Amino acid sequence: MAIDVNTDLLDIYGQKFSSRLLIGSALYPSPKVMQDSIAASQAQIVTVSLRRQSPESGGGNMFWQQIKDLGLTILPNTAGCHSIQEAVTLAQMSREIFETDWVKLELVGDEYNLQPDPIDLVKATEILINDGFKVLPYCTDDLVICRHLVELGCEVLMPWGAPIGTGKGLLNPYALSAIRNRFPQTTLVVDAGIGKPSDAVQAFELGYDAILLNSAVAQAQDPIVMAQAFKAACEAGRFGYLAGKMPEKDTAQPSTPTLGMPFWHQS
Amino acid sequence: MQLKINGQTVEVTETKSLLDVVKEFGASAPFALAVNGQFVPKSQHESWNLAEQDSIEILSPVQGG
């Protein structure tokens, strides 16, 4: 039986989405390319952030209007936070300004690779969940950290594929697969590290429910076409996963019938 | 009274509310505020009592990944 994206829906804290691509709003060559790329991706969730207001640049109002014009679900992040207090405060400010209790919780543990601090991430998650947030934690692919996050009430986990902005693809498919197998009921999103559409396909083939990316589209030579490519890759990967791949064999098996073979095999 | 707003040192008269201070600084909607690293909800912007050397953050939407 055929499936389509309108019946096979992504579940994020009870909200349903036909797109399995979450997309960032940063690093595009221009605001127009950002809008056109996000539209071309057909993503329904877009990530944004908060920074110090610069009155001379219009206070961020122009950007916010462009994002609102897209009519998408907003996912604020806490990018750049290095402490629990910073992340919690930024999340609270985001909740007020973006009018959402969703937060993509990012807590940098090391500047070298922007790796999430696993210990403080768990502590900040607990504080935010107790404060009524729906936390989407950007985490490493550590199974035990993921377990702690799930036990705290996270319905979504977002382990990295590779460090932010590297485009290296899924560096540890085994670890990502283990998380999938361990938490079959949790919505899993590969966040960060995806560089090309085949990386997205691989994430879905591992059974992941969605991907979140930014640089892979924004920094492509043609962001709009790459956004289209990722849309197609998400659907291909997801449908392929649902279809179930054929059993592998160690030796060749002819696909064309051998019965009735002409010429040399006949006596 | 001396304050810091988004890292800049400013002088204000002590009678001003937090909302007045940030508007005088040039803040325009949409923005959210924190004082000394603590979130201050919009409902408290007018009533919040500022103190000498308080550090105010005025944040607005930007691109994010």
**CATH number of the domain within which A252 lies:** 3.20.20.70
Asked if residue A194 has pLDDT above 90, the reply is yes
Residue-wise pLDDT tens digits, A29-76: 999 999 999 999 999 999 999 999 987 766 678 899 999 999 999 999
Residues in a beta bridge with B47:
none
Answer yes or no: is B65 within a domain. Answer: no
A161/A152 Cα distance (integer angstroms): 23
Q: How many CB atoms lie within 10 A of CB B42?
A: 12
Q: Could you give the 3-state DSSP secondary structure of residue A250?
A: coil
For A101, the domain range is 10-265
A184/A199 Cα distance (integer angstroms): 21
A197/A202 Cα distance (integer angstroms): 9
Number of domains in chain A: 1
Residue-wise pLDDT tens digits, A133-143: 999 999 999 99
A102/A95 Cα distance (integer angstroms): 8
Token pair 């090309």 is at which residue? A196
CB A211 within 8 A of CB A195: no
For B40, the domain range is 2-59
Nearest chain B residue to A213 by CA: give it.
Answer: B65
Class of residue A2 by CB neighbours under 10 A (exposed 0-12, middle 13-18, buried 19+): exposed
Residues of A labelled catalytic: 104
Asked if residue A96 has pLDDT above 90, the reply is yes
Number of domains in chain B: 1
A252/A159 Cα distance (integer angstroms): 37
Across the interface, of B27, B32, B42, the residue whose CB is closest to A50 is B32
**pLDDT over 90, % of chain B:** 94
Across the interface, of A53, A64, A96, the residue whose CB is closest to B6 is A53
Token pair 């505020």 is at which residue? B33
Class of residue A33 by CB neighbours under 10 A (exposed 0-12, middle 13-18, buried 19+): middle
Note the pLDDT of residue A58: 66
Answer yes or no: is B64 within a domain. Answer: no
Residues in chain B: 65
Q: Is 0.95 exceeded by the ipTM?
A: yes
Q: Do B58 and A90 touch (CB under 8 A)?
A: no
Asked if residue A11 has pLDDT above 60, the reply is yes
Q: What share of chain B is helix, strand, coil (3-state, %, to 5)?
A: 15, 35, 45
B34 touches chain A (CB under 8 A): yes
Q: For residue A162, what are its two tokens?
A: 């590779």
Answer yes or no: is A48 within a domain. Answer: yes
Answer yes or no: is B11 within a domain. Answer: yes
Answer yes or no: is B24 within a domain. Answer: yes
Whichever domain contains B13, its CATH number is: 3.10.20.30
Mean pLDDT on A143-171: 98
Q: Do B60 and A60 touch (CB under 8 A)?
A: yes
A178/A208 Cα distance (integer angstroms): 11
